Amino acid sequence: MERLAAAGFAPEDIDLVVCTHLHVDHVGWNTRLDAGSWVPTFPKARYVFPKPDADYWDPRNLALYPNKIGEAVNAGFFDDSVRPILDLGLAQLVEGSAEVAAGVRLDPAPGHTPGSQTITVTSRGESALFVGDVLHHPLQIMNPGWNSIFCEDAALARQSRLRVLHRAVEEEAILVPAHFAGEHMVRVVATPGGLRPAPLS
């Protein structure tokens, strides 16, 4: 929140929140604890969640989805960081591709979670792909078949990763995964030896 303030924004200024997927480490600032209740951090925002994840991770649907890989590590997040937003009617549940604001497009990239989606932001002739956890480490650009231990559907995660990486090459887009270190973003280039990460400029 300090960095948001440093960028010149108050929580009330934020009108759109988009989650790439619903995992404990990607929903944490949706809400904040206020006098014992979880309330929206951004009270004037529309929150965009992938519908397949909202179904999959809802503890009330446990009987439908009983064998989740990330069940233990993700315990509790839905009720403190997702349900309060749903209950207040602030959520927009998206399934499939969607334009959620001018220059902000969502596309499905399932596998890591059923609802994982990429956010393509286009501005002044350039585009950036915010890909969440489609990949966690630059080595996965060179080895797109490598999954994290928290990918719910291994085969689908590999397919989505490869497709997203090739999109980054073809569209010359900046790739912005959630967990890369340093400046957090790279370009992807195709070489005779396969895909490689490359510096931005």
Residues making contact with Zn ion (CB under 5 A):
23, 133
Torsion 156-158-163-164 (CA) sign: positive
Q: Which of 183, 179, 182 is nearest to 133 (CA)?
A: 179
The CB-of-150 to Zn ion minimum distance in angstroms stands at 6
The CB-of-50 to Zn ion minimum distance in angstroms stands at 12
Q: Which of 114, 172, 130, 127 is nearest to 16 (CA)?
A: 130
Residue with smaller CB distance to Zn ion, 55 or 171: 55
The CB-of-133 to Zn ion minimum distance in angstroms stands at 3
Residue with smaller CB distance to Zn ion, 23 or 167: 23
Contacts of 81 (CB under 8 A, 6+ apart): 24, 27, 28, 30, 31, 38
Task: Say if residues 164 and 134 touch (Cβ distance below 8 Å).
Answer: yes
The CB-of-86 to Zn ion minimum distance in angstroms stands at 20
Q: Which of 50, 43, 54 is nearest to 90 (CA)?
A: 43
Q: Which of 162, 198, 193 is nearest to 183 (CA)?
A: 198
The CB-of-190 to Zn ion minimum distance in angstroms stands at 26
Residue with smaller CB distance to Zn ion, 44 or 179: 179
Residue with smaller CB distance to Zn ion, 53 or 105: 53
The CB-of-34 to Zn ion minimum distance in angstroms stands at 26
Q: How far is CA 12 from CA 17, 121, 201, in A?
A: 12, 22, 35
Q: Please list the residues that pair with 40 across neighbouring strands.
A: 31
Residue with smaller CB distance to Zn ion, 67 or 191: 67
Residue with smaller CB distance to Zn ion, 45 or 133: 133
